């Protein structure tokens, strides 16, 4: 497996990630998974460093996961919550970031409802010569790199728990089903999965899967297919990723009803019969039970990898913080 000296100071998008970078993250996450299985689940790697979680948008698992990852690496953490911050008094986002910088922040983990905010903060940090690493924890409909990396870790660990690596995806069929249009998780996953020689099949109603997604498949090692029916995407699939219908981002009536969506696109036991017999189902959470996925299926450990995704998230985020903290950029 090809690994490398880590050179990225910021992780903002997976669009230009190289296979060796994925393998470095997967291998590093595997070693942190081992740390997390010990009785003493902590290493001194980032002792004395400060990680600030700047979440301008609601989050349960991503924020807790980054906080725990930083703590397991012995870093100090600060959590920012917009409702109780000086943003309500008119402070700009860049000034908020600079306030955290002045307190000695080494890494900023940023989530914002607008695409491009983490990138803008990273550009400002570079401009003023601050050695701060910026990690995109989800920006608008743009990207969510750490979620796609934890999905990749979860999938490759199913294929080889000891040596998760990107080449394991060669020839595998992965279906991504749901609200692709509004999903930063789908976009980051399309980049990571097509960086391998996997076949990625997107499926959604036409209102949630515009034709322009096909462009993301050009010049990639893997192949990308679009379907406006779910069945062809599920046929012989090895993995199915379901995505939440993002009600908060839907301006118009993009769907007749949740019930009709479930009838036509919902992941159910019956539909999974189209897939390979040992198919596994992922969902980044939060889940609309009974809409994008049947409620009982979500809790069935024979099919569902949802809890593993959450567990993997901590090891993968430890890997990201560790690699960025020791970057040779
Ligand atoms: C996703 C997100 O915030 O983009 N959730 C997550 O980070 N676990 C997906 C979603 O909100 O549906």
Residue-wise pLDDT tens digits, 165-209: 999 999 999 999 999 999 999 999 999 999 999 999 999 999 999
Q: Residue 136 carries which DSSP code?
A: E
Ligand 1 pocket test: pick from 144, 204, 246 the residue with the most ligand atoms within 8 Å of its Cβ.
144
Instruction: Name the more confident of 83 and 292.
Output: 292
**pLDDT above 70 covers what percent of the chain?**
98
pLDDT band, very low/low/confident/very high, at 328 (cuts 50, 70, 90)? low
**What is the DSSP annotation of 179-241?**
--TT-HHHHHHHHHHHTTT-EEEEE--GGGS-GGGGGGGTT-SSEEEEESSSHHHHTT-SEEE
The hierarchical CATH code for the domain 19-143+310-326 is 3.40.50.1370
Q: Residue 285 carries which DSSP code?
A: S
What are the extents of the domains in the chain? 19-143+310-326, 145-309
pLDDT at 87 over 90: no
Fold: same for 19-143+310-326 and 145-309: yes
Report how far residue 288's alpha carbon sits from residue 256's, in angstroms, rounded to the nearest whole number: 16
| 62 Cβ below 6 A of ligand 1 | yes
pLDDT at 148 over 70: yes
| 244 Cβ below 6 A of ligand 1 | yes
> Could you tell me the distance, in angstroms and rounded to a whole number, from the CA of residue 2 to the centre of ligand 1?
30
Residue 139 β-bridge partners = 112, 143
pLDDT tens for 94-134 read 999 999 999 999 999 999 999 999 999 999 999 999 999 99
**Which pTM was predicted?**
0.96
Work out which ligand 1 atom sits closest to the CA atom of 62: 7
Select from 3.40.50.300, 3.40.50.280, 3.40.50.720, 3.40.50.1370 the CATH code of 145-309: 3.40.50.1370
> Could you tell me the distance, in angstroms and rounded to a whole number, from the CA of residue 221 to the centre of ligand 1?
26
Among the listed residues 78, 79, 96, the one whose alpha carbon sits nearest the alpha carbon of residue 87: 96
pLDDT at position 140 is: 96
| 184 Cβ below 6 A of ligand 1 | yes
Work out which ligand 1 atom sits closest to the CA atom of 57: 3
Write the CB contacts of 251 (distance below 8 Å, at least 6 apart in sequence). Answer: none
Cα 128 from chain centroid (whole Å):
29
Work out which ligand 1 atom sits closest to the CA atom of 243: 12
| 144 Cβ below 6 A of ligand 1 | yes
Mean residue pLDDT of the chain comes to 94
Average pLDDT over residues 276-302: 96
pLDDT-wise least confident of 64-68, 96-100, 214-218, 243-247: 243-247
Average pLDDT over residues 273-281: 98
pLDDT at position 2 is: 64
Cα 202 from chain centroid (whole Å):
17
**pLDDT above 90 covers what percent of the chain?**
88
Work out which ligand 1 atom sits closest to the CA atom of 147: 7
> Could you tell me the distance, in angstroms and rounded to a whole number, from the CA of residue 55 to the centre of ligand 1?
13
Residue with CA nearest ligand 1 atom 11: 286
pLDDT at position 1 is: 61
């Amino acid at each position: 497996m090809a690994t490398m000296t880590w050179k990225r100071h910021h992780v903002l998008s997976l669009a230009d990630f190289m296979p060796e970078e994925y393998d470095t993250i997967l291998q590093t996450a595997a070693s942190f998974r081992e740390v997390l299985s010990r009785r003493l689940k902590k290493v001194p790697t980032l002792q004395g460093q400060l990680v600030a979680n700047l979440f301008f948008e609601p989050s349960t698992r991503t924020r807790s996961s980054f906080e725990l990852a930083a703590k397991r690496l012995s870093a100090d953490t600060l959590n920012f919550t917009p409702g109780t911050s000086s943003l309500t008094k008119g402070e700009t986002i860049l000034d908020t970031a600079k306030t955290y910088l002045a307190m000695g922040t080494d890494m900023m983990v940023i989530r914002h409802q607008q695409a491009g905010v983490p990138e803008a903060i990273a550009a400002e940090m570079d401009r003023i010569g601050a050695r701060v690493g910026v990690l995109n924890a989800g920006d608008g409909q743009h990207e969510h790199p750490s979620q796609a990396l934890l999905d990749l870790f979860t999938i490759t660990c199913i294929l080889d728990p000891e040596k998760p690596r990107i080449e394991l995806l060669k020839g595998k069929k992965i279906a991504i089903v749901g609200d692709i249009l509004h999903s930063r998780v789908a976009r980051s996953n399309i980049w990571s999965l097509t960086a391998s020689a996997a076949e990625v099949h997107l499926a959604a109603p036409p209102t949630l899967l515009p034709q322009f997604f096909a462009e993301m498949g050009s010049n990639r090692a893997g192949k990308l297919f679009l379907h406006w029916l779910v069945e062809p995407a599920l046929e012989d699939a090895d993995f199915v990723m379901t995505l939440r219908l993002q009600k908060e981002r839907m301006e118009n009536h993009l769907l007749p009803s949740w019930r009709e969506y479930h009838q036509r696109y919902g992941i159910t036991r019956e539909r999974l019969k189209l897939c390979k017999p040992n198919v596994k189902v992922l969902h980044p959470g939060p889940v609309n039970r009974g809409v994008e996925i049947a409620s009982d299926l979500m809790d069935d450990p024979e099919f569902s990898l949802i809890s593993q995704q959450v567990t993997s998230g901590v090891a993968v985020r430890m890997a990201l913080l560790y690699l960025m903290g020791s970057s040779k950029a």
